Amino acid sequence: MIDLLSDRLLLGEKCMAHDTDAECYGDEHGGVSQPLAVPGPDACARTAAIFRALGDERRLCLLVLLAHREMCVSELTERLRDNLPAISQRLKLLRSERIVVARRNGKHVFYSLADDHIAQLIANGLAHGSEKTG
């Protein structure tokens, strides 16, 4: 779908603005002769899954804690004042989306953010969410 859309936009085909009667050609706005990099459907699907995982308040609070440092499940449970099964379920989903990684040390499993991209997403999202509107 996105490849078809990008091909139509690159060719300057006529399009209709959503929910309006305005019609235009892409080349009327300049820059159409310059091809734009558009990610493939797999990359878009993967990215959407990451944003869905980040979109839950409780998972986001958990990730904010992990943005500070690696923590074990027991510490996350205590800091978030939630039960172990709920925290474990959230961590399972976050691991499946490769947002967090786990490291075992004896009986303890420690979690941390998977990489700096995730830390930046969280920081940027919180910064944007904290901006005053109006």
Residue 58 and residue 99 share a domain: yes
Domain encompassing residue 34: 1-38
Alpha-carbon distance of 84 to 73, in angstroms, equals 7
8 A C-beta contact, residue 122 and residue 82: no
Residue-wise pLDDT tens digits, 36-56: 888 999 999 999 999 999 999
pLDDT for res 131: 92
Q: Pick out the chain residues at pLDDT < 70.
A: 1-22, 25-27, 29-33, 134
Residue 87 and residue 66 share a domain: yes
Residue 48 and residue 33 share a domain: no
Alpha-carbon distance of 102 to 72, in angstroms, equals 9
E strands, the chain, where?
14-16, 23-25, 71-72, 100-105, 108-113
Q: Dihedral angle at the C-alpha atoms of 106, 108, 109, 115, nearest 10 degrees?
A: -90
Residue 107 and residue 59 share a domain: yes
**Total domain count, the chain:** 2
